[in-house]
Amino acid sequence: MERAEIDRLRAEGDFPESLRRRVQVVGTAEGAALLDIPVGRFGRLARLGLLAPVMFYLNRYRTVVWLYLAEEVRQFAADPQNAHLLTGRTPQTLRGRLAAGVDLRARNWRGRRLGHLLRQAEDPWARAGAVAALLAPVEVAGVVQDPYERACLNRFRPVPPGHGAPGSPSAHLVERITTAQDADEIGWLRSELARSVAEARDASPAPRPAVRRAPRAPRSVARPIPPMAPTVTGRLEQWTVVRSTADTAKHPVPAPLPAEQSAPNVQPPAWTSRSCVRPPRSAGRPAARHVARDNGPAGAAPPGAPRGLRAWLRRRNPRPVPPERV
């Protein structure tokens, strides 16, 4: 509030009683008492948007309690055009809207809050941030696509009224009240946001980080390619040639025979359907020679001696000769 407004209020004759009457708020029951109507009728009038709440809070049962300015309630009762709404049967058009589930209390509170924020804003970006405070982040991103402008909006965006811990059911309920829900309200706020951002962009563009140019890397000087070193393959081929020459000197390879003295071509026997028996594998192999093994002491066994393991053991370890008896 400006200083001039405070001086004007203090200059009134019945100050501070006049100021208290202007800022006095009442609930549903007190408002119904001021209008001299039932509480249910007062609630229906508020849902229809005929009475706009000025603030709200959540009680211990997480029920939204709406508060209204007492001065506005008195003005509604003093207006002769509203006399038919305070007595008698509610008009059919209003009853149809109530049956459809119309509740304009949250929307009227958002409109009142937007007007209050716009009156307090002194910067074009602050006015744009006040409009963006009533939209969901997805809607704001759809209108303002520049990330630096969105960051500027978030810096000037007013803090919503906090109720409960973040993420709690109370916080979700307050977020639903403070964010536009109806399609026509969202469309109007989007158009207002686009207009406010355009005005703020023309007045003072959103700050952006300074562009830093990276220093140019020093240009590398071309260097001559060194001569190729001998590879492993070249060493291996040289070693193979030297080794082959040495082996040829030690073991000379016989010269190939002329064509007339070469061995005749011997073709393997043809297989026929009648002779399907393979020749034995041992046919072309030389007979194995028996090699005598000498596992015992020197000297061959006398002819006619028993053969076998027992005889071999006897020859190896002869029995002691018993002494002769006298």
Give the mean pLDDT of 177-183. Answer: 93
At residue 236 the predicted structure's pLDDT band, cuts being 50, 70 and 90, is very low
At residue 231 the predicted structure's pLDDT band, cuts being 50, 70 and 90, is low
Higher pLDDT, 30 or 246: 30
pLDDT of 221 reads 67
Q: Are 53 and 113 in contact (CB under 8 A)?
A: no
Tokens 């005005």 correspond to 199
pLDDT of 239 reads 46
- Give per-residue pLDDT as tens, 182-206: 999 999 999 999 999 999 999 988 8
Give the mean pLDDT of 226-241. Answer: 53
Residue 70 pLDDT more than 90?
yes
- Nearest CA to 201 among 121, 127, 124? 124
Preceding amide of 209 cis, omega within 30: no
pLDDT of 6 reads 78
At residue 289 the predicted structure's pLDDT band, cuts being 50, 70 and 90, is low
Mean pLDDT of the chain: 78
Give the mean pLDDT of 19-40. Answer: 91
Tokens of 295: 């596992």
Residue 107 pLDDT more than 50?
yes
Give the mean pLDDT of 290-313. Answer: 57
Higher pLDDT, 166 or 58: 58
Residue 309 pLDDT more than 80?
no
pLDDT of 322 reads 64
